[in-house]
Amino acid sequence: MDYEKYMKICIQLAKQGEGKVSPNPLVGCVVLDKDGNKISEGFHAKYGENHAERDALLKLKNGEEKDGTLIVNLEPCSHFGKTPPCTDLIIERGIKKVVIGMRDVNPIVSGIQKLKNSGIEVIEGVLEDECRELNEIFIKNITQNKPFIAIKTATTLDGKIATSTGSSKWITSDEARNKVKNIRNRYDAIMTTSSTILADNPSMIHKKKIILDRCLKTDLESKIYQQGEVYVFCDEITSPHPSPKLGEGAVVSDSRTNAGEVIFIKTPSKENKLDLNFVLKKMYELGIKSILVESGGRLNGEMLKYADKIYHFIAPKITGDNSSLSCFDFRKITDINECENFKIKSVEQFGKDILLIYLRA
C-alpha cells in the first residue's frame, strides 16, 4: 500500500485550515475501505469544529469503513477538548489500521496507545519530516511555550528595501505581492513599527496586528488601524489615554466605529527600545501563537535572534546605492563570523521574482 501517496493528500487537506485552526494543529485525514479504496477524506477546518478524523468518518453512513484504514498526519487525540476524542470514534467505527505521520508533541495525547490497546494496528512515521514541517508552529508552541516567529522582506539583488528617500513602490511584482497575502493568512498576527506606518501608511489587512510604537507617534486615522484588532506596545500610555499610574503590561482598549479594537499595552523599554522579550511573551499570553514580522531593517534585524523562518522575496533589480535602506540593518560587526546563520529551505519563482525561504541553521 502506498501510504506516502495518501499522506501527501492529508497534508494538502490540512493546509486548507491555515489561519483558521490556531491554536490547534493542521490536520488532514483519508479513509480507505478494507479493499484499499479511498472512501472519504476530511480536515480540521476551524478551531472548535470537528477534527479531521471526525470530519472524514462522519461523512460515512453505511459502515463501509469497517475493517478499513485511516490515514492522518498527526496522532489522533484521546482526550475531551472542544470535541470528543477522535480515538473513540475510530474504535467505534471498526477501523482496523491507522497510519500516522507524526506523534503529537502535546503530552496529554496518548492516542496511539489507546488505539493499540483496542487491537488496532498502528503504523507511524510516514512522511514524518513533511508532517513536522506542516505543524512547525504548533510544535514550537507546545514544546517551548513561545510564539513562532517569521520575517518577510522584499529586496533588490543588493538587499535594499527602499532608496534613501523611502521610495519602495514597487520592488517586487504583483505575483510576489499576491503570494505575500497568502503567507500572511498562515499567521495569527502581523508585526510592524511606527516607522513603517509613518513612512508607508500600509493597510496590512489581517485579523490581528501588532504595532511597536514606543512614543505613540502613529495616528489612529492611519490605514492600518481601520481594520482588524490592533495591539499597540508603547512605553507610556499617553493620549488618548493618560494613565501614568498603569504598571507594565497594563492594557487599555479603544473601540472604533466600523473597525476592530485598538489595545494599548504599557511596555518596559531599555536604551529607547521596547523590550521584545516582553512583547512576545505578552502576545503569547494573549493567544497569539504565530507572528509574521513585516517592517524595516531595524526591527527585522532585532527580530533575527527570535526568528524561526525568513521569507525573502528578491527582485532582479540593483540599486547600486549603498545609502539605500537595507533589509537587515541593526548593528555593526567587525568579524564575519558574527553573522546570524540560516539555511536555505526552498526557492520558488513568482513572476520575475524569487522567494527564498530560510530556516535557522
Q: What are 15-44's pLDDT values in tens digits? A: 999 999 999 999 999 999 999 999 999 999
pTM of the entire structure?
A: 0.90
Picking from 202-211, 251-260, 326-335, which range would have the lowest pLDDT averaged per residue?
A: 251-260
pLDDT the model gives residue 82: 75
Please give the CATH number for the structural domain made up of 146-188+290-361. 3.40.430.10
The distance of Cα 88 from the centroid of its chain, to the nearest Å, equals 30
Using CA atoms of 24, 277, 343, 152 in order, give the dihedral in degrees to the nearest 10: 70
> Around Cβ 332, how many Cβ atoms within 10 Å?
6
The string of pLDDT tens digits covering residues 289-301 is 999 999 999 999 9
Question: What long-range pairs does 200-203 form, CB within 8 A, spacing at least 24?
Answer: 200/166, 200/168, 203/227
Is the pLDDT confidence value at 260 over 80?
no
Confidence class for position 239, pLDDT limits 50, 70, 90: very low
Confidence class for position 237, pLDDT limits 50, 70, 90: low
DSSP β-ladder status, 229-234 and 208-212: parallel
Q: Do the two domains 3-143 and 146-188+290-361 of this chain adopt the same fold?
A: no
Question: Could you tell me what percent of the chain has a pLDDT over 70?
Answer: 93
- In CATH, 3-143 is 1.20.58.100: no
Residue 259 amino acid letter: A
Residues serving a catalytic function are 53
Q: Where are the domains of the chain?
A: 3-143, 146-188+290-361, 190-288
pLDDT the model gives residue 110: 87
pLDDT the model gives residue 236: 63
What's the rounded mean pLDDT across residues 233-246? 57
Confidence class for position 100, pLDDT limits 50, 70, 90: very high
Confidence class for position 243, pLDDT limits 50, 70, 90: very low
> Whole-angstrom Cα distance, residue 259 to residue 176?
28
pLDDT the model gives residue 166: 85
What's the rounded mean pLDDT across residues 335-357? 95
Confidence class for position 242, pLDDT limits 50, 70, 90: very low
